[in-house]
Amino acid sequence: MKRPKTIGILTGGGDCPGINAVIRAVAKKAMLEQGLGVIGIEDGYDGLIRRKCRRLALSDVSGILTLGGTILGASKISNPYQYAVRKGTSVVFRDVSRRAIASVRDFGLDALVCIGGDGTLGIAYRLLQDGVNVVGVPKTIDNDLRGTDITFGFDSAVSIATEAVDRLHTTAQAHHRIMVLEVMGHRAGWIALHAGVAGGGDIILIPEIPYAIEAIVRKVRERDRCGKRFSIVVVSEGAVPRGGDVVIRKIVKNASDSVRLGGIGFVLADQLERLTGHESRAVVLGHLQRGGSPTPFDRVLATQLGVQAVDLVMNGRFGRMAAIQDGKITDAPLEIAAAGPRLIPLDLPLLGAARSVGTSFGDET
């Protein structure tokens, strides 16, 4: 294998705390230790399609470890294999992958580091099959990627959501209300489960365990009987009632993955107010979970994954993504990340622990 001289780096999909820490780690290791040139591709795959890139200097990646967002910009809608083009009043999808691949050649890239979730890494896998030397870094607050035990960004999102639960506790208690906190997570309940347990939520609703509203009402009444005249519900945006479906907030027409979830918190608060007689309020935490500075855990994880990605490139191990498994930094095949979300397994010990301390998942008969 020819020794790489120049690598590209892009950040696709939704942003999350820790992306800049990965960019910094990749660029610093590549430049300082390996003497490589580093090209930052702007706005995810859009930068390859529309040729937006810039050479990164050490000064560009200095001081960004603690910074939220991404200095390169991101895009959730730019898929080279399904690129949205406006045709009159409608949107059609075109395959512009040849243009994207030509950019990799024209930018002089010997390898491309793609930082992203299942969508971005799925596209990276297709680019690999089309001859591009790709390695991945798994990123998402949702923590739902296969092949890695934890994604960076998750710990930061959980810490923000936990603070929200803590704050809702005091106001719920003061007004004897039910407070429903809706958190992100897409089709997986990792954020709701971890923030719910960390914040001592009374009821945690996750997509993996369809809920029965009667079970939630029973839990609220049981708390009433014990003198606890308030309840905290932490609900994942993708949670579903038994036999029902998710609540959709919006369809993004020009995205290949077009469904945006959201709104279940308000549905539940209305139902619970009617069925329990408790005043109820809903709070949707939304993008607050994606913004701001990463936690120390995420900074450390992001740094390790970025360094690992450069090692993969230097060893010619394309088609792999940096990963953490059983506490060790390692790598996994890219296609695993593209093979659908990693949901919470129903035998996860944390579910049992939460039930042991009296948490309801809305499924008790």
Whose Cβ is closer to ligand F6P: residue 187's or residue 278's?
187
Distant-in-sequence, close-in-space partners of 339: CB < 8 Å, separation ≥ 6: 146
Whose Cβ is closer to ligand F6P: residue 134's or residue 285's?
285
Q: Which of 15, 43, 142, 202 is catalytic?
A: 142
Question: What's the min distance (Å) between Cβ of 185 and ligand F6P?
Answer: 5
Question: What's the min distance (Å) between Cβ of 76 and ligand F6P?
Answer: 5
Whose Cβ is closer to ligand F6P: residue 66's or residue 258's?
258
Whose Cβ is closer to ligand F6P: residue 117's or residue 199's?
117
The CA-atom distances, in angstroms, between 232 and each of 240, 280, 309 are 18, 10, 41
- Please report which residue ranges of 116-203 form alpha helices under DSSP H: 118-129, 154-175, 190-199
State CA 139 to chain mean position distance. 6
Question: What's the min distance (Å) between Cβ of 226 and ligand F6P?
Answer: 34
Residues at the contact surface with ligand F6P, assessed by CB under 6 A: 14, 76, 117, 140-142, 184-186, 237, 260-261, 290
DSSP summary character for residue 29: I
- Please report which residue ranges of 19-134 form alpha helices under DSSP H: 19-28, 46-49, 97-106, 118-129
Whole-angstrom Cα distance, residue 363 to residue 5?
Answer: 56
User: Beta 134-138 vs 320-325: how paired, if at all?
Assistant: parallel
Question: What's the min distance (Å) between Cβ of 136 and ligand F6P?
Answer: 16
Which residue's Cβ lies closest to ligand F6P? 184
CA atoms within 13 Å, Cβ hemisphere of 59 = 0
Q: Is 142 a catalytic residue?
A: yes
Question: What's the min distance (Å) between Cβ of 23 and ligand F6P?
Answer: 18
State CA 220 to chain mean position distance. 31
Which residue, chain included where needed, has tokens 């069925």?
275
Question: What's the min distance (Å) between Cβ of 84 and ligand F6P?
Answer: 14
Whose Cβ is closer to ligand F6P: residue 29's or residue 76's?
76
Whose Cβ is closer to ligand F6P: residue 4's or residue 14's?
14
Whole-angstrom Cα distance, residue 134 to residue 217?
Answer: 50
Question: What's the min distance (Å) between Cβ of 19 and ligand F6P?
Answer: 12
DSSP summary character for residue 61: G
Distant-in-sequence, close-in-space partners of 3: CB < 8 Å, separation ≥ 6: 314
Longest dimension (CA), the chain: 72
Could you tell me the two tokens for 191?
């954020």
CB 112 within 8 Å of CB 127:
yes
CB 153 within 8 Å of CB 16:
yes
Whose Cβ is closer to ligand F6P: residue 17's or residue 80's?
17
User: Beta 248-251 vs 259-261: how paired, if at all?
Assistant: antiparallel
* Residues marked as catalytic: 142
